[in-house]
Amino acid sequence: MTASVTPLHPLLEVKGLRMHFPVTEGLLTRRLLGEIKAVDGVDFIVRRGETLGLVGESGCGKTTTGRCILRLERPTAGEIIYDGVDLAGSGRKELRRNELLALRRRIQVIFQDPYSSLNPRMTVGAIIDEPMKVHRIERDATRRRQRVRELLSVCGLNPNFADRYPHEMSGGQRQRVGIARALALNPEFIVCDEPVSALDVSIQAQVVNLLEDLREQFGLTYLFIAHDLSVVRHLCQRVAVMYLGRIVEMADSDTLFDSPLHPYTRALLAAVPVPDPSIERTRTFRPVQGEVPSPINPPSGCVFHPRCPIAVESCKHTRPEPREVRPGHVVACSQVQLDLPE
């Protein structure tokens, strides 16, 4: 799938990423029952300055992929090459602590739940200050305090909020604090893990706009993990769709949403109702049958075949490799054909 030449040097390159979690039984004698293949062979790149959307339903491995990139998990196999350095360290070359720290300064994260990702006993100021202390960015406390106030105002909050506690703020305001904390180290890459899912509709739009403004202002690169496809279409240049630990389709945003090829992507898009009753009245709609199978014992061959409307016999045995059906459009399905007029 790396057939086409990418004109820009990718900031992040993920190759053959696998993250398998052991499933054990028993309290004292841990017996290995099997493995959850949360991420099972994922390849993608993220170019500098772009936003890549990672979408899929719960359990598809999108969050685990993000956690591997942040090195909050140690991948079972594969490479995560960030600006030339392999973060995965799955081979012999384990990253040294100071190397990891240096990379963490450049890669930050925004979490989904602004309630549980902020320490309730710390003031907002202390929360934003902490990464700067940990990474010894600025030794002077007065200057750090000044920086906290700047960050708050960049994120659309009153600088005096530095003295407040998270419980005194609304969900949208807390998420802005989470964003300010992520920006404290001047990172270049931010993993956004469902950053707006917990917010009300009217507040969601405010935070989406803020993320866009910050991307422009600071030249940020985002990996945007989400299940809300409408937000992803709005915010991302390219999108990868995951199902049971694998990427089933990846393309630029408009191509993916306007002419999806993989049957799972099609089912996913069809399942999302559009906020317009006259469009909804004309849409014929048959939801995809069945539920996502267990990642402990995934189906053989193509993992989507038990629910797939176009599956044939060979799909049960052969795992479809991702192939580039047109420039930049990768699909892992043996059945889809490109019937473009040209």
Partner 1 sequence: MPPLLEIRNLQTEFRTGAGIVRAVDGISYTVEAGETIAIVGESGSGKSVGAMSILRLIPDPPGRITGGEVLFAGRDLMKLPDEAMRRIRGGEIGMVFQEPMTSLNPVLTVGRQITEVLEQHRGATRAVARQRAEQLLCLVGIADPARRLKQYPHQLSGGMRQRIMIAIALTCDPKLIIADEPTTALDVTIQAQILELMKELTRQLDIALIIITHNLGVVARYASRVNVMYAGRIVEAGPAAAIYHDPRHPYTIALLRSVPRLDRPRRTRLDPVEGQPPDLARLDQGCAFRPRCRFAVAACAEARPALAPVGETGHVAACFRGHEIAAETGEAA
Choice from 51, 76, 175, 253 touching partner 1 (CB under 8 A): 253
Q: How far apart are CA 179 and CA 211, in angstroms?
A: 8
Calculate Rg over the CA atoms of the chain: 21
Please tell me whether residue 215 binds partner 1 under the rule CB under 8 A. Answer: no
Q: Which of 2, 24, 153, 230 binds partner 1 (CB under 8 A)?
A: 230
266 binds partner 1 (CB under 8 A): no
CA gap 224, 155 in Å, rounded: 18
| Residues from 46 through 105 that contact partner 1 (CB under 8 A) | 57-58
Tell me 6's DSSP state: P
Closest CA to 40 of 9, 17, 72, 8: 17
Residue with tokens 């993250």: 19
| Smallest distance, partner 1 to C-beta of residue 55, A | 10
Among 216, 276, 313, 339, binds partner 1 (CB under 8 A): 276
SS3 call for 130? helix
* Alpha helix ranges (H) inside 32-170: 62-69, 97-106, 124-134, 141-154
216 binding partner 1? (CB under 8 A): no
Residue selected from 119, 146, 153, 170 as contacting partner 1 according to rule CB under 8 A: 170
Q: Pick the closer one to partner 1 by CB: 104 or 305.
A: 305
- Nearest of 251, 293, 234, 289 to residue 40 by alpha carbon: 293
Q: Least distance in Å: CB of 273 to partner 1?
A: 3
The only residue of 48, 105, 233, 319 in contact with partner 1, by rule CB under 8 A? 233
Q: Which two tokens stand for residue 80?
A: 């995560």
Does 142 contact partner 1 by CB under 8 A? no
The two most distant CA atoms of the chain are separated, in Å, by 68
Number of residues near partner 1 (by CB under 8 A): 46
Q: Does 271 bind partner 1 (CB under 8 A)?
A: yes
Contact between 253 and 236 under an 8 Å Cβ cutoff? The reply is yes
Enumerate residues 6+ apart whose C-beta is below 8 A from 119: 127, 166
DSSP for 22-54, written as a single string: EEEE-SSS-EEEEEEEEEEEEEEEEETT-EEEE
Q: Name the one range near partner 1 by CB under 8 A: 26-34, 79-87, 206-214, 321-329.
A: 206-214
Stretch that binds partner 1, among 97-105, 108-116, 131-139, 165-173 (CB under 8 A): 165-173
Sole binder of partner 1 in the list 164, 206, 252, 298 (CB under 8 A): 206
Applying CB under 8 A, the residues found at the interface with partner 1 are 57-58, 170, 172-173, 200-206, 208-209, 212, 227, 229-231, 233-235, 253-254, 257-258, 267-280, 285, 287-289, 291-292
